[in-house]
Amino acid sequence: MTGDKIDISVTVNGRRYRRAVEPRRLLADFLRYDLRLTGTHVGCAHGVCGACTVSIDGRTARSCLTFAVQVDGAELETVEGLAPDAELSAIQAAFHRNHALQCGFCTPGFLMAARQLLAETLTPTEEEVRTALSGNLCRCTGYVNIVRAVMSAAEDLRANREASHV
């Protein structure tokens, strides 16, 4: 049933929002309908497909299993925040080059999950990439090019890091 609304304040992609939300409002709905950040998708609402993956205080989370009131005071990042400038991020660019997206519905979730992995290591094995992405479902690509894209993004990021060290 409906409940009284609760005020929350949250930072999403660097911008601060204050809103009043019902306690039962899902974070996914809050992002999509209240903030109109519709890049975060809902494929199952049961925590299985990963399409709704966002980053909350630096850790990936399922926005379909999180209530908006739970992120009061948190820093969030969604797919819309990955490429603030004109240039695509290294992971996005690798997805483009490697044809790692078809319908694109799962893509925001994969990008967020891949970013978390590459924040932890820039030298993942193919096995590690597969494990890290095993909580995200894609029905179009067969994952082949997604795995290749993440491997290739890791390589680019390594090369960048080395370049910036010289």
The binding site for ligand FES (CB under 6 A) comprises 42-45, 47-52, 62, 64, 101-107, 138-141
Shortest spacing between CB 49 and ligand FES, in angstroms? 3
Least separation, in Å, of the C-beta of 32 and other proteins? 7
Given other proteins, ligand FES, none, residue 96, with its beta carbon under 5 to 8 Å by kind, binds: other proteins
Q: Which of ligand FES, other proteins, none binds 23 (CB below 5-8 Å, type-dependent)?
A: none
Contact of 64 with 78, CB cutoff 8 Å: no
Closest CB 19 distance from other proteins, rounded Å: 15
The smaller minimum CB distance to ligand FES, of residues 42 and 122, is found at 42
Residue 161 sits at φ, ψ, to 5 deg, of -65, -45
The values of phi and psi at residue 143, to 5°, are 70, -15
Question: Taking CB within 5 to 8 Å according to partner kind, which of ligand FES, other proteins, none is near residue 154?
Answer: none
For tokens 């694109």, what's the residue? 104
E strands present in the chain: 6-12, 15-21, 53-56, 59-62, 75-77
Closer to other proteins by Cβ: residue 19 or 130:
130
Min CB(164)–ligand FES separation in Å: 32
What are phi and psi for residue 18, nearest 5 degrees? -115, 130
Q: Cα angle at 159 between 161 and 119, to 5 degrees?
A: 55
CB closer to other proteins, 10 vs 111 = 111
Rounded CA separation 118/90 (Å): 11
By beta-carbon proximity to other proteins, the closer residue of 10 and 41 is 41
